[in-house]
Amino acid sequence: MQRSLSDRNLPSWGHVWLLAPFFVFLSLFWITPLGRGLLLSLESDTLFGESTFVGWQHYRDLLADSRYWRAVLNTAVFAVSTITITITLALVFAHALRFCNRRIQGPLVFGLMIPGLCPPTVLALLFLLVFHGKEGLLNRWIIQPLGFETINWLSDPDFILSAVVIQAVWRWTGFMAFFLLCALNARPREILDAARIDGAGVWSRFVNVTLPLIAPTLTFCLIYLIIDCFAQFAGSYVLFGGSGGTNDAGLLLVTYAYQKAFIGGGFGSGAAVSLSIVPWLAGMLILVAMVPRNVWKEGSTR
């Protein structure tokens, strides 16, 4: 609900000066390179020397490339799994945190955020130990006590993607839990009390009252996670260092772009893969942005 719209619909000079810095820097440092990147994706893969214009060749090659589609599939599965698990866990933690004493909430939140704040190089070393097949910490402390056979997270094609999901969930749950905690705290008392008095069960209260109230934050979290899963290379790089694992089981779109550019030496095709991520990403975002809007409108009591 817009509360401060001025009907003086004009950009006055004052407005232009306020808008200018952001958009000048944007054009200077992002639009220009973006254009250059687009051009790069239309050029041949020559590393040293003059490259020739090849038009849409790289994109055509991508469409016919089975590894590319494998990467699309992997990225989609990865994104959906990470997001569902992270949001669920984050909601659980957020509710749990509300029970706690105000004073320890702060340190607890910080504790949850640690994985996100840790330097990626350290995490790379740590994951080596955590995800190791027989000796790994994950196997020793969780898998084996539960009675299963050790899992070779980093080599077994069936589990590689799971390892990537686990590290993403580990890194982001803390931040999401924090956002959702604030959202939960912001729910108007009256509505919650009203629902409780009405006799609605815990689950029904959650779905019909809480969800719509926290929908905007939830959407923000979803958007952030989607962008991270599709466009962020750091997570997978930390685990695999640019490789996709056995049989490309862990090959993500960003990984494939990196391989094409830096291992195959083809910056043109790498740029094409990177640019091709944009439609997929935009598609996911539109999907996400559309759905909650309806939920929001219905459930909102404003």
Partner 1 sequence: MNRKLASIGVGCLLAIATIIFLYPLFWMILGSFKSNAEIFNTLIFWPREWTGQYYEILLSNEFFPYLTSLANSITVSLSQGVGATLLAAMAGFVIGSYRFRGRIGLLALGILVVLIPAQMVALPLFMWVNTLGLFDNVFGVILPGLVSGLGLLFFARVYSQLPSDLLDVARTEGASEFRIFLLTLPLVKPFLIAFGFAHFVLSWHAHIIPMLVLNSEETRTLPISLAALYGSSLNSPQAVLMAGSALGMLPLIAVFAFAYPQLKSALQEFVSQ
Partner 2 sequence: MNSFLNFPSIANRSVRFALIIIICAIVNVSWAEPVKIWISSQQDKIYYDNMVRLYQQEVDADFQAEVQAFGFREMPDKLAIAFKTQTNTPDIVQLDEVFFGMYLQGEAPFVDLTDRVKAVGLDESIMPQRLELFSLGDRVLGLPQSLSAVVIYYRRDLFQQFSLSPSEFKTWDDFMAIGEELAAQNQPLLALDPSYFGMLLRQRGGHLFSETGDVLPDFELAVETLEFMGELAQKRIGLMPDRSTIFDPVFFGGDVANNEILAIMGADWYGLDMIQQFSSELEGEWGIMPLPVWTDEQGNPNSVRTSTFAGQGLVVYKGSDLIDESWEFVKFVMTNREANAQRFLQGNSFPAYKPAFEDIRLLQPQPFFGYDSMGQILVDLAPEVPRVMMNPKRPMAVFMIREGMLSSVMYGEGDARTALTRFKDQLEGGGGPPPGVN
Judged by the rule CB under 8 A, the positions of this chain that interact with partner 2 are 45-49, 61, 67, 128-129, 132-136, 152, 154-157, 241-248, 259, 261-267, 269
Which residues in the 19-48 window bind partner 1 by CB under 8 A?
A: 19, 21-23, 25-26, 28-37, 40
- Grouping H, G, I as helix, E, B as strand and the rest as coil, residue 21 is helix
Question: Which residue do the tokens 């550019």 mark?
Answer: 261
Q: Residue 247 Cβ, how far from partner 2 at the closest point, in Å? A: 6
Beta bridge partners of 53: 43
Name the segment binding partner 1 (CB under 8 A); options: 42-50, 53-61, 62-70, 88-96. 88-96
Report the residue number, 57 or 157, with the smaller CB distance to partner 1.
Answer: 57
Report the residue number, 207 or 231, with the smaller CB distance to partner 1.
Answer: 231
Site string for partner 1, 201-240 (x = CB under 8 A): -------------x-xx------x--x--xxxxx------
Which of 62, 83, 97, 164 is in the footprint of partner 1 by CB under 8 A? 97
In the list partner 1, partner 2, none, the entry touching 133 (Cβ below 5 to 8 angstroms by class) is partner 2
User: In this structure, what are the phi and psi dihedrals at residue 51, rounded to the nearest 5 degrees?
Assistant: -100, 150
Which among 228, 254, 280 is positioned nearest to 83, based on CA atoms?
A: 228
Q: Residue 24 Cβ, how far from partner 2 at the closest point, in Å? A: 24
Contacts for 167 with CB less than 8 Å, ≥ 6 apart: 123, 127, 235, 238, 239
Report the residue number, 242 or 283, with the smaller CB distance to partner 2.
Answer: 242
Beta bridge partners of 43: 53
Q: Residue 51 Cβ, how far from partner 2 at the closest point, in Å? A: 8
Question: Which residue do the tokens 């539109």 mark?
Answer: 286
Report the residue number, 185 or 208, with the smaller CB distance to partner 1.
Answer: 185
Report the residue number, 122 or 263, with the smaller CB distance to partner 2.
Answer: 263
Distances (CA, A) of 188 to 135, 194, 202, 253, 295: 50, 10, 17, 42, 18
Which among 100, 117, 229 is positioned nearest to 175, based on CA atoms?
A: 117
Report the residue number, 111 or 247, with the smaller CB distance to partner 1.
Answer: 111
- Grouping H, G, I as helix, E, B as strand and the rest as coil, residue 43 is strand
Q: Residue 237 Cβ, how far from partner 2 at the closest point, in Å? A: 9
In the list partner 2, partner 1, none, the entry touching 269 (Cβ below 5 to 8 angstroms by class) is partner 2
Q: Long-range pairs for 51-59 at CB < 8 Å and ≥24 separation?
A: 51/268, 54/268, 58/268, 58/269, 58/271, 58/272, 59/272, 59/276
Site string for partner 1, 121-150 (x = CB under 8 A): xxxxxx-xx--x--xxx--x----------
Which of 62, 71, 94, 108 is in the footprint of partner 1 by CB under 8 A? 108
- Grouping H, G, I as helix, E, B as strand and the rest as coil, residue 56 is coil
Angle between helices 157-185 and 211-231 (to 10 degrees): 140
Which of 85, 116, 143, 246 is in the footprint of partner 1 by CB under 8 A? 116
Q: Residue 136 Cβ, how far from partner 2 at the closest point, in Å? A: 7
In the list partner 1, partner 2, none, the entry touching 111 (Cβ below 5 to 8 angstroms by class) is partner 1
In angstroms, the CA 244 to CA 251 distance is 4
Q: Which two tokens stand for residue 128?
A: 């080596």
Report the residue number, 11 or 241, with the smaller CB distance to partner 2.
Answer: 241
